[in-house]
Structure 1
Amino acid sequence: MTDHSVFPDPTYRDTVLAPLFEGVKSHYAEHMGAINRAHLVMLAETGILPSDNASAIAVALRDIDSETDIEALTYTGEHEDYFFLVEAELRKRLGDLGGALHTARSRNDMDHTLFKLALRGRVSKLLEQALTLTEALIAKAEAEKATLIVAYTHGQPAQPTTWGHYLGAVIEVLLRDIERLNAAADGLEHCPMGAAAITTSGFPIDRGRVADLLGFDGPLINSYGCIASVDYVTGLYSAMKLVFLHLGRVIQDMQFWTAFEVGQLYVPNSLVQISSIMPQKRNPVPIEHLRHLASATVGQCDTIVNVMHNTPFTDMNDSEGEVQQLGYAAFERGARVIDLLTALIPACRVNSDRVRKTTDAACITITELADTLVRDEALTFRAAHEIAAATAKAVIADGASLGEGFAAFESAFAAQTGRNPTLSQDTFRTAVAPETFVARRDRTGGPAATALTDALASYSDMASSERARCAKRESRHKTAQQRLNKAFDALLVKD
């Protein structure tokens, strides 16, 4: 029979406390150690703790960290979580002095600081991967600036462009997503420590010093907000979601382009699996894995944000360990998506023969014929459009290529205008060639060589800027770690 007077209840232990402990113990212990050291340094520097007491606690913390095998720990119910385990060890070694480290702090401000530290490292890695993908796409776009493809709208062949131009659009979205993710990463850079439970402390704490030692840009000012506001969580996962939502659309295009009936994109053998029963099939299954992994990452990000919906504006478990674990899994899955895309896209090539056949069969250069008629025959665009439409209809009916459709064009032109065109057959062929179509789209953002070269250069500059932004944060974190180690080691020397 269960003894309901003793904590923890066995069912609560097994369903909540033990799984939570297992899920968070590694990162919890890592960042708990940093928070303990930074808080202790601050208590000593402000005189809240006498230096000899601070030194004794420092030695005990050092020994606990070195002697504890985190991975071997299992939840026994003796201590509610790793925080209480460390405090119990301090009291075992130092007696009542072991409880002095908790002066002017609470698990409330500690927990949110822990989560920010854990997220900080994960988003830093994700940004690095996203920027590496961006740079790989820029290099691929440079190499494919002149590689013609068929651009589709509404699932139908629309106009010719280049693969480099298509990738440029992907790069632009990815850079905007990286900018949003970088902004969300900046939202992690304010420290909750010193808020204590809700209202700060009656002790003369130095919140700025703790923030500095932990590598934050400064303290998060409002102490209630330190323990109640979860926008650092919702903002991060919202920004992260968009990365994979948008990449998922590109992955869907790749799935479409590799279909046998389309055949625009060729995936190399190293990324193709063969059917176990149908030897003729080349299955580009990495694209399928990318699609469901990206969707699963989007779903996990949504889950994190949705858990926060209609929660009270106060400290609550809904934003803490259990949910944070779920979020960390989104980072793991998302990292796989980005790494696989970084390998896949540069390895693929365009099937130029299929592109040419689709270009001819679908008359996708016909818009340039209409434009040419406006420029060279002084027609209105609507009249030119009617001639181009009639030409395309006749050519498609004959199963011919548009370049061989001069007779159909002459007939359509005469029917619309009552006169013969001044365009020669050679000029007509030039006008409807896909190379001409692309070359004449030389305005900002177009696929022509100069416009695309300028765009890709700007993308490189933007990627460098986002890298510099990441590097600045990383530098602050690393130098802060050095300051913390130096300040903590100074306490040890006093022992």
Structure 2
Amino acid sequence: MQNTKSNKLWGGRFHKETSQLLEEFNASLPFDKRLYKQDILGSKIHAKMLHKCGILTNDEMQSICVGLEQIEQEIQEDRFIFTLSDEDIHMAIEKRLTQIIGEAGKKLHTARSRNDQVALDFRLFVLDCNKTLRSLCLNLIHTLLNIAQDHTKTILPGFTHLQHAQPINFGFLMCAYICMFVRDFERLESSFKRNNYCPLGAAALAGTPYNTDRFYTAKALGFIAPTLNAIDSVSDRDFALDFLYDCSLIAIHVSRLAEELVLWSSYEFKFITLSDAYSTGSSIMPQKKNPDIPELLRGKSGRVFGNLFALLAVMKGLPLAYNKDTQEDKEGVFDTFDTLEISLRILNDLLKTMEIHTNNMLQACKKGHLSATDLADFLVTNCDIPFREAHHITGEAVAYAESLGKDLSELSIEELCRINPKIPKQAHKALDLFASMEARNSYGGTSQQATLIQIQSLQAWLQTAKASMEY
């Protein structure tokens, strides 16, 4: 039986070519070619470090860097020929580099492994995505703050169990979503700092016998420092899981806001009208204007959660160090980033262009007896009535209003006092919807003053966050 040598860069001990089926099953090149910029940057810095440490000559280092720049241009101009047999972006670039500059290209892989190389490329990519999403969160927060500031006097029903509960202002409601996205930004910021360490130089799993300088490499690539332990460096994907978890929470918050937009844009609510530029119609019903963007935003959260669960399942049983299973780490992260990037962009544009119907919000407050709690509180505070009795009296008032086909807030003084002799005329002022909202002036409450304090605090936070991004 005649054996032939493998033509793989790693194929020295192999005597047969890999099967075509294995080529297709094993290759990550169709998706990890997206990491070409990170791979080329890491390779250039690695070459410079090898030269600094006397492992490469100046000519070799210069030749490698020039060759890598040519490869980057070829890829950007769509002239680079990707071949499935190269397996991944790392081997494809190294093979092409050797074709361009000859033997010097074969020296680039000195003192590193594909294990630490892919850990570096993927980590750089995730950190770049982290910055992009933080910037998009800030844009969204800015837009929501503008809406909040314009609507501190716009009354609408606050809901619990999706039932009318108490009157609040629309700015206060927007501040609630802003607080969610502030936490999202801070989570991304925290995970960025936690994972901003350089794995390059860990080699396969145990470090390298060459006299290298990992601190130089880390600093040149913008990291805080090199990772501490080589075997952890090549097997760690916590940075990707952190990112996917952070993204999952962003997706939850986007989905919750999207659900509100779907409800508010319906004829039953009619609190908002979405711009025609961000709506679609029906193929059969000409009167329809569908909130497809909020619905898609709501639906896309599922795929983001799925990507997190998938990587958790991949990592849960892996022994140290590197295992091929972790090749499954990238596609979910790529998909999650792409999904959230466009979601945050289009949500921001949709919010900027929607029309807010303040009168419809006010009219909705006149349904559901939103001032009932205020009447009970008034009786407790001003009439020395125990809360449970005040609660019962207020329930009688609600039933009486409904018998007249009115909202509690629409009862006259005479009608209110007719319900129970313990209700004084002064209690009528407790039924005013705006007064009800303004009464909730505690820190974090829905009064206009309390809402403006929240807005001012969030505006100050936003300026600090923008400054930290610029730094």
**When the two structures are superposed, what TM-score results if normalisation uses the length of structure 1?**
0.85
Secondary structure of the structure 2 residue equivalent to 1:185: helix
Q: CA deviation at 1:279?
A: 3.7
Q: Is there any run of 5+ residues in structure 2 with no aligned partner, and where?
A: 5-14
User: Aligned equivalents of 2:337 and 2:60: distance in 1?
Assistant: 41
Match of 1:83 among 84, 90, 97: 90
| Matched letter for residue 32 of structure 2 | V
1:342 aligns with 2:352: no
2:368 alignment partner, one of 362, 372, 375: 362
Q: Is the 8 A contact 1:150 1:158 kept in 2?
A: yes
Aligned counterpart, 1:24: 32
Find the residue that maps to 1:259 and give its secondary structure: coil
Q: How big is each residue's C-alpha offset from its partner over 1:262-303, in whole Å with a ceiling of 9 and x where there is no partner? A: 333333444343434434433222221221123333333333
What residue number does 1:6 align with? 16
Match of 1:106 in 2: 113
In 2, are the aligned partners of 1:245 and 1:298 still within 8 Å (CA)?
A: no
The aligned counterpart of 1:216 is 223
**Does the 8 Å CA contact 2:254/2:297 hold for their aligned counterparts?**
no
Pair 1:13–1:463, CA change in 2 (3 A): same
3-state SS of 2:247 partner: helix
Q: Name the aligned partner's letter for residue 214 of structure 2.
A: R
2:247–2:336 contact (8 Å) kept in structure 1: no
Q: Would the aligned equivalents of 1:391 and 1:408 in 2 still touch at CA under 8 Å?
A: no
Give 1:74 shift: 4.4
1:327-338 equivalences under 5 Å are 327-338=333-344
Inter-CA distance 54–258: structure 2 relative to 1 (3 Å threshold): closer
Among 155, 173, 178, the alignment partner of 1:148 is: 155
1:423 aligns to 2:422 (yes or no): no
Q: CA deviation at 1:192?
A: 0.1
**How many residues are treated as equivalent by the alignment?**
458
CA pair 64-152 structure 1, distance change in 2 beyond 3 A:
closer
Q: Distance in 2 between matches of 1:40 and 1:374?
A: 78
Residues 13-412 of structure 1: pairs in structure 2 closer than 5 A: 13-17=23-27, 20-25=28-33, 27-66=34-73, 71-76=78-83, 79-92=86-99, 95-320=102-327, 322-402=328-408, 403-412=410-419
Measured in 2, the distance between the counterparts of 1:285 and 1:138 equals: 24
By how many angstroms is 1:408 displaced? 4.4
The alpha-carbon deviation at position 68 of structure 1 amounts to 6.1
After superposition, what is the alpha-carbon deviation per residue over 1:355-406, rounded to whole angstroms, capped at 9, x for unaligned? 3433223111111111222232232322222221110111012211322253
Structure 1 gap ranges (5+)? 473-495
Cα deviation, residue 259, structure 1: 2.7
SS for the counterpart of 1:8 is: coil
Kindly tell me: are residues 202 and 398 of structure 1, through their superposed partners in 2, closer, same or farther at Cα, counting changes over 3 Å? same
Residue type of the partner of 1:311?
Answer: L
Equivalent residue for 2:9? none
Aligned residues with identical type, % of pairs? 24
- Which secondary structure does the structure 1 equivalent of 2:195 belong to? coil
Letter in 1 for 2:448: A
Letter in 2 for 1:263: K
Answer whether contact 1:251 1:287 (CA < 8 A) is retained. Answer: yes
Change over 3 Å in CA distance of 1:10–1:440 after alignment to 2: same
1:466 match: 465
Distance verdict in 2 for CA 1:71–1:390, change over 3 Å: same
Mapped contact 1:248–1:294 kept (Cα < 8 A): yes
Q: Call closer, same or farther: CA 1:67–1:257 in 2, change over 3 Å.
A: closer
Letter in 2 for 1:162: N
Deviations 1:336-368 (A, max 9, x none): 221121122233344344334332231111111
Structure 1 residues 425-456: Cα deviation after superposition (integer angstroms, max 9, x where no partner): xx61x321111011111111111111111111
Question: For the residues of structure 1 that align with 2:325 and 2:394, how far apart are their CA atoms?
Answer: 62
Aligned CA distance change for structure 1 residues 464 and 260 (closer, same or farther; 3 Å): same
Cα RMSD between the aligned structures? 2.4
Which one scores higher on RCO, CA 8 angstroms, separation ≥ 6? 1
Distance in 1 separating the partners of 2:127 and 2:331: 14
CA deviation map 1:35-68 (0-9, x unaligned): 1111111111122334344344444444554556
- CA–CA distance in structure 1, aligned partners of residues 186 and 397 of structure 2: 46
The residue type paired with residue 269 of structure 2 is V
CA 74–305 in structure 1, closer or farther in 2 if over 3 Å, else same: farther
Contact 1:104–1:203 (Cα < 8 Å) also in 2: yes
Q: Residues 453, 198 of structure 1: CA spacing in aligned structure 2 closer, same or farther, 3 A cutoff?
A: same
Q: Distance in 2 between matches of 1:149 and 1:371?
A: 21
- Residue in structure 2 matched with residue 442 of structure 1 by the alignment: 441
Aligned in 2, Cα 1:342/1:87: closer, same or farther, shift over 3 Å?
Answer: closer
Q: Deviations over 1:307-360 (max 9, x none)?
A: 32323342123323x431231111111112211211222333443443343322
Give 1:312's aligned amino acid: P
